[in-house]
Each structure stands twice: as C-alpha cells, then as structure tokens.
Structure 1
Amino acid sequence: MPSPKLAPLELTAEERRVLRGWVRRRKTAQVLAIRSRIILACAQGGTVTAVAEELGVSRDMVSKWRRRFLEHRLEGLVDEPRPGRPRTVGDDQVEQVVVKTLESAPPKGDTHWSTRSMAKATGMSQTTVSRIWRAFGLKPHQVETWKLSADPQFIDKVRDIVGLYLDPPERALVLCVDEKSQMQAIDRTAPILPVLPTTPARMSHDYVRHGTTSLFAALELSSGAVIAEHHRRHRHQEFLKFLKTIDKAVPADLDLHLVCDNYATHKTEAVHKWLLRHPRFHLHFTPTSASWLNLVERWFAELTSRKLRRSAHRSVAALEKDVRAWIKEWNADPKPFVWTKTADEILDSLAAYCRRINDSGH
C-alpha cells in the first residue's frame, strides 16, 4: 500500500529563528540539536526517508519528531517529564522533622539529634531524615565556637585598624605583627607514605616531640612580604629584638604602623620606652578576642596548611631552618591579602549576629 500522505509542515519566522538558534548554540543538548535539524529539513519539503538519510538517523525518529512538532510545535521537541516513583513523604512530615530538629530536646539526655534518634521519633527512615536535613542545611552533629569581644574600645579599634587597611598613610608601611608561639618540632614514628592513585598520603598517628620555638612575623600589607625571625622564648625581650629587626629592615624615611594584639609582652615598660626613642613606630592594638582583625593570622594559616601540618623534624633547629626556607620562597613571590570590608560593614554584621543570637533565646 502507498504511504499515507504527510501533513504539510510549515514554520513561522519565529519558529525558524529558534530552531536555527538551537542548532547553532554550542551549549544546546545534542538531542535537541538533531531534533531541530529534522524539523528544519522537513520544512524544506524533504520526505521522511530523505531526511533520515541526510541526517543519518532512522525513519522512525524522523516520523516521531515531525509528528510531535505538528502536535505541540516547539514545546514538542523538549523531553516530557518521565514517570517516576510517587512522592511518599508529604510537606507536613518534612515540616515535622525540621521543627523537631530545631525546637525539641533530643531524647535520653543526648546533646543533639542523630538520624537514628530522629527516625525513631518520627517513624521515618534514617535515609529520609538525612535527605531532609541536607535539603535544609541542618547539621545537628556539628558545633562551632564563637566569641564576641568585650573590649570597651572595640568600635574605635575596629575603625582604626580597618582604616589602616583600606587607606594606608602616605610614606609609611603598615605591618601586621604577631608571634606564632609553641611551634613544635615533631617527628613521626614511621616515615610519611607518599600519595598514590586512589590513596592519600599517610602518616603515623603517634609522634615524638623535640622541642618548641616561636616565630615572630610582620606581614607587609601592601606587598605581602614577611619579615620573620625565630626565638626560643616568648618574652618582651624577644619582642624588642624583633622590633629592632624591623627597624633595620625598613628604610629610615618611612613611618611604621604596626597592628598587634593585646599580649602582655607588647605593652611592657621596656617596650614603651623603646618606642618613645623610635617615634616612627606607631602601634595599633586589635580589640581583645578579635585576632581575626590581624592579617598576619591569615598568613600563619598559610604557613600551617602548606608547611607545618604535614612536616616532620627531628630537632628545633631543623624546624627553624625548614620554616626559614619556606618564608624565603614566599618572599620571592609574595601575595598580599586584600582587606575589603569597611568598618561599618563589620559592625553592622556583628550587630545583626547579636540580634539573631538574642532572638534565639540563648
């Protein structure tokens, strides 16, 4: 029998524009691009067989998408939602888990809910509870620490230090100064095993201590370069020696603005007298319990993650030599840490956080 006569396929100017766009777009899914080519070829008068041969697809495929286009136009070329398993957990059950997690005390005197205890309390599976928690970003098993500064001059000190970061004085260097004390020379009881395909590097759990050292560091705000030296003790005498090191390292025609914390060694009478004799030094103290304002802490984090955490040293001297070599490499291509938040943004953020924790009833 002869094939039934096909219904004519005609395109509007807008449909032709959209189809050509789907064909040309690099990010279009390939299945949608080939369907668009089929419709464009059919619209030029090509038969099912001719279009199938031209595009290298089956006749059934051409017939299917030609028919779908005639029935639903452009929307017919997009895959329809596939049937799947019907939803078994309703909105009320989801709300029950979320509210219980946030507002109800855990059972049996536990400090927090687990998937097992929540599943038992709600009659759901652990998998369902876990999916709901992930969807709402709930992590009852995790806890973070926080501390707000009680410094009566907190606002003034924040404005002072952030002002230095965002608008440094002319003909001056801003140095973020602190000590990384109690750096331990640690040696593992067995050699560290290197990383392998599918296997991370491995080190023994136990270790041997070989003494400690303190690293005094001054991070230059503008360049990211670091002035540093080791001392075996952590007293005002060592801090004075480090101030003298800074004095020698920086050209005499530049003022020095040092951002420091409130450690007692920074405020002794001996330090105060030395600063009076060296008026180009200006100390700016961070608020108490606000070490995050001192950018050298960010550099200490780099030192820890990139050098100290996975190193092994059999003596303090070996540790100090290794750290000095790492600092030399850092200073060969330093990277400054750019402060972006204004003092007002910081204070507004802290105020919002205080309101939130007060509203929570804690």
Structure 2
Amino acid sequence: MIPEAREVHLSRKDRKVLEACCRSPVTLQRDLKRARIVLLAADGRSTRSIAKEVGVQPRIVSLWRHRYADHGLEGLQDKPRPGKQPIYTKTTDKRILKLLDKPPPQGFARWTGPLLAEALGDVDVQYVWRFLRSHKIDLVARKSWCESNDPNFTAKAADVVGLYVAPPAKAIVLCVDEKPSIQALERAQG
C-alpha cells in the first residue's frame, strides 16, 4: 500500500538546483530520477502519474516525496549504509609513510613489506603491500645511494672528499669502485 502523498513545496533555490541537475549530462541516473520526482511532485502531480513518467514504483515516488519534505535537498542523498567498517584508516596510512621516513631496523639496508608490518605491529603485511602499490612506492628504489654500516665511515668519507677538494701536490688519486653496493646487498639479507 502506498503511503499518503505529501505535498512538496520547493523554494526557488531548490528548484534551480533540481532543474540544473536534470539538465546536466553528468548527473547520475538515480539522482536524475530523484530530482524529477521532486520537481513533478512540486508541480502537483499524483504519485502514480509521477511513477509512470519516471519509470519507478509508486512506493519509490512516495519515499522521495517524504525524504524531500522532511530533509530538503540533503534528504535526496543516500543514507549511510550499514556494513563492515574498514580495518585500516588514513591514520594507518600516515603511520606507514612516517615509518618509511625512518631508517630500517639495525641489520637491514631497506624496508620490506613484512618488516614494515612487523614494525607497525597491528597492520597486515598484505595491506602494507596494497598501500605501497596504490601509492606507487618502490621500496627497492627508495634511495639512490648506498649507506655504509661501517662505524668509521664518516671519517673515511671525509678523507676521500678531502683528496678531491684539496689534492696533495704531485699526487695521483685512483678510484676503484667495482661493487659499490656490496655492503647494502649483504645487509639486505634477513
């Protein structure tokens, strides 16, 4: 049984919005039908004639008449639907990004999906990989240089840089760089 039809009174502003919605080529069909229902109801048409013209059941016309009468234009939007809430939120995404800015744990050259999930503690490794793929984050190409785990690296690097900046008189500087990332590869294990 169809509930009693409610009168629909449109303000000029609401009428303009609904008419623009009907004219727009990008309006979703469901929104177009809702707008047409309310416009026809405001013109005094019966529920059955609106249903026939729009191509819906009379109970649908009645529903949108009531929703507009009670809530205005906001009533024409879908109500939140029940369902499973997402386990991981934007906060989780921010935690992943924040962790990527930190150096990996001792003994590792770079972050991996399982390592990130373990460090976060409450995030599944599959979600970590999905997040990284969706943001086009490549863990292997994260940095373009090798980081040494040698505790005396800074002093050694200063000596080498010093040779280039102020070379000794009549000195020959040879640079042999066969495997620059051997340390990083060794540390990447595990």
TM-score surpassing 0.5? Answer: yes
Name the one with the larger strand percent. 1
Q: Which amino acid in structure 2 is aligned with residue 114 of structure 1?
A: T
* 1:47/1:87 CA distance change after superposition, 3 Å: same
User: In the alignment, is the contact (CA less than 8 A) between 1:98 and 1:133 conserved in 2?
Assistant: no
- Identify the residue that residue 69 of structure 1 maps to in structure 2: 68
Q: Which amino acid in structure 1 is aligned with residue 96 of structure 2?
A: V
1:114 to 104, 112, 115: 112
Aligned runs of 1:35-114 on 2, under 5 Å?
35-89=34-88, 93-106=92-105, 109-114=107-112
User: In the alignment, is the contact (CA less than 8 A) between 2:5 and 2:62 conserved in 1?
Assistant: no
Aligned runs of 1:128-147 on 2, under 5 Å?
128-134=127-133, 138-143=137-142, 145=144
1:284-325, Cα deviation, whole Å (9 max, x unpaired): xxxxxxxxxxxxxxxxxxxxxxxxxxxxxxxxxxxxxxxxxx
Q: Which amino acid in structure 2 is aligned with residue 49 of structure 1?
A: R
Q: Counterparts of 2:89 and 2:3 in 1: how far apart (Å)?
A: 49
Q: Counterparts of 1:15 and 1:91 in 2: how far apart (Å)?
A: 35
Quote how far apart the aligned CAs of 1:24 are. Answer: 0.6
Q: Which amino acid in structure 1 is aligned with residue 116 of structure 2?
A: M
User: In the alignment, is the contact (CA less than 8 A) between 2:40 and 2:50 conserved in 1?
Assistant: yes
Q: Which amino acid in structure 1 is aligned with residue 139 of structure 2?
A: P
Quote how far apart the aligned CAs of 1:97 are. Answer: 3.0
| Greater relative contact order (CA < 8 Å, ≥ 6 in sequence) | 2
Look up the SS of the partner of 1:61 in the other structure.
helix
Q: Which amino acid in structure 2 is aligned with residue 130 of structure 1?
A: W
Aligned runs of 1:296-335 on 2, under 5 Å?
none
Percent of aligned pairs with the same amino acid: 31
Q: Counterparts of 1:55 and 1:94 in 2: how far apart (Å)?
A: 44
TM-score (norm 2): 0.63
Quote how far apart the aligned CAs of 1:102 are. Answer: 1.6
Q: Counterparts of 1:30 and 1:90 in 2: how far apart (Å)?
A: 31
Q: Counterparts of 2:90 and 2:25 in 1: how far apart (Å)?
A: 39
Look up the SS of the partner of 2:53 in the other structure.
helix
TM-score (norm 1): 0.35
Q: Runs of 5+ in structure 1 lacking a partner?
A: 147-362
User: In the alignment, is the contact (CA less than 8 A) between 1:42 and 1:48 conserved in 2?
Assistant: yes
1:242-282, Cα deviation, whole Å (9 max, x unpaired): xxxxxxxxxxxxxxxxxxxxxxxxxxxxxxxxxxxxxxxxx
* 1:17/1:99 CA distance change after superposition, 3 Å: closer
* 1:25/1:93 CA distance change after superposition, 3 Å: closer
Q: Counterparts of 1:27 and 1:90 in 2: how far apart (Å)?
A: 30
Name the one with the larger helix percent. 2
* 1:129/1:27 CA distance change after superposition, 3 Å: same
User: In the alignment, is the contact (CA less than 8 A) between 2:6 and 2:66 conserved in 1?
Assistant: no
- Identify the residue that residue 292 of structure 1 maps to in structure 2: none
* 1:6/1:92 CA distance change after superposition, 3 Å: closer
Q: Counterparts of 2:24 and 2:127 in 1: how far apart (Å)?
A: 40
**CA RMSD in angstroms, aligned pairs only:** 2.8
Q: Counterparts of 2:98 and 2:4 in 1: how far apart (Å)?
A: 63
Q: Counterparts of 1:143 and 1:131 in 2: how far apart (Å)?
A: 17
Whether 2:21 is the aligned partner of 1:26: answer: no
User: In the alignment, is the contact (CA less than 8 A) between 2:103 and 2:110 conserved in 1?
Assistant: no
Look up the SS of the partner of 2:56 in the other structure.
coil
Aligned runs of 1:124-163 on 2, under 5 Å?
124-134=123-133, 138-143=137-142, 145=144
* 1:17/1:94 CA distance change after superposition, 3 Å: closer
Quote how far apart the aligned CAs of 1:38 are. Answer: 0.8
1:139-189, Cα deviation, whole Å (9 max, x unpaired): 32225659xxxxxxxxxxxxxxxxxxxxxxxxxxxxxxxxxxxxxxxxxxx
Look up the SS of the partner of 1:79 in the other structure.
coil
Q: Give the number of equivalent residue pairs.
A: 144
Q: Which amino acid in structure 2 is aligned with residue 20 of structure 1?
A: E
